[in-house]
Amino acid sequence: MMTTTPPVAWPNRFRTLGPSFYTELPPQALPEPHWVATSAACAAELGLPPDWADDTALQVFSGGATWPGMQTLASVYSGHQFGVWAGQLGDGRALWLGEIDTANGPMELQLKGSGMTPYSRMGDGRAVLRSSIREFLCSEAMHALGVPTTRALCVTGSALPVRREEIETAAVCTRVSPSFIRFGHFEHFCHHGLPQELRQLADFVIERYYPACADAPQPYVALLEQVTRRTAALMADWQAVGFCHGVMNTDNMSILGLTIDYGPFGFLDQFDPGHICNHSDNAGRYAWARQPNVGFWNLHALAQALMPLIGDSDQALATLEVYKAEFADALLSRWRAKLGLATAEDDDRALIDDLLRLMAGDRCDFTITFRRLAGYSPAAADSPVRDMFIDRAAFDAWALRYAARLEREGSIAAERALRMNRVNPMFVLRNHLAEVAIREAREGDFGEVQRLLKVLERPYDESDAATRERYAGFPPEWAQSIEVSCSS
């Protein structure tokens, strides 16, 4: 035990479910750990003091110690991976530390990369510096973009060698979330014929996260509906910012509708609806354009897991139908916002689809195109957004329709630009930006990780010219050779 600790009781409410849900075990310490990166914003939301990242915290968040009250555990779950039932899974390299009560409610802390657990399935239980930096940066970047997500408090590293495709060094990422419960937790107890534990888990989730469902005529149907709505909204968020998760297995789907488990993710550079960000995804199951349908498929898996509690398959299927309209409406709303449309017209969907079709045909950069569109003016013959398109005539024809649409709603250019710049980011975590930070970190220089984090925390700001040139420009040619896989 450490002799100092922040003023936290470290409850672990998940632990109250009982040993059927987890295994208690200590973390495995990183030898001679060092700080890699910290998130001041995440720490502030947790209520930690400004000087929280001391030597004691370094040991705790490297798996070398626990503060009084922490009772570390790894949870068991199951799931479908790439559409195939994978059987028992679980926290193979993660440990729950406990909770902090914050102004936004209890937040759980979890170490990722803290060593083997009973659920490691031949794995070493470790995470590497590369993947830990990527998860840390993207967790905080997505939060700044307004996309529901788990957070990341810090990354610690060590010279400990870890074998992936090559020998790398170990790291631990401390993740933060209201809950790490996944669809796969429910699947585990259903598929293993444990109805009492399944009900216990569902009641726990309802009591803690969906209390209004307890008063519904059929609480478990109400739970399924709420998770369906949140998942639909999350899928719309991903599509609108050009985010590809890369491994949307059911064990990577949050019961709270959060982005969870950042592995082979990527943000779109050149717009290709069929873009596959995961080098391990040979069939393209998790391509950008397929994510919404996969979200729906995963919800069917959750509904199947809840069937011992719901009983009526027709009612479960009817509840899932909410997804179709919820997702379609949410995505259309986000596309309208990205185009700066303040009103709704029946032809908006065609206007948006035609723009995306042009962008795909000319492989326009997704983020830059929408950001430049904010400055579009029918009065300017050579608007910068026009330069994004090879087929200028096709863009001009579309732009005439767009200008007419803006005129019909009495759009004021300056006000429209402000609205658009609040939803179309200047900065996203492109793979090449993460790669530069990772390469420097491997050489012992962690400054770029913190500099990049600072930029990603304010994704909608114009910032200064030097920052825009460095972090908001077109990706270099070498970026096309970057590959991320399930080991990333």
Catalytic residue positions?
251
- Return all residues near 47 (Cβ < 8 A) that are at least 6 apart: 100, 102, 103
Cβ atoms of 50 and 253 closer than 8 Å: no
Burial (CB count within 10 angstroms: exposed 0-12, middle 13-18, buried 19+), residue 166: exposed
Helix (H) / strand (E) containing 166: none
Q: How many CA atoms, within 13 angstroms, populate the side-chain half-sphere of residue 85? A: 10
Q: CA nearest 119: which of 97, 88, 98?
A: 88
CB atoms within 10 A of CB 93: 20
Burial (CB count within 10 angstroms: exposed 0-12, middle 13-18, buried 19+), residue 354: middle
Q: How many CA atoms, within 13 angstroms, populate the side-chain half-sphere of residue 316? A: 17
Pairing of strands 94-102, 151-163: unpaired
Longest dimension (CA), the chain: 70
- Return all residues near 243 (Cβ < 8 A) that are at least 6 apart: 142, 147, 237, 259, 265, 266, 267, 268
Helix (H) / strand (E) containing 266: strand 266-267
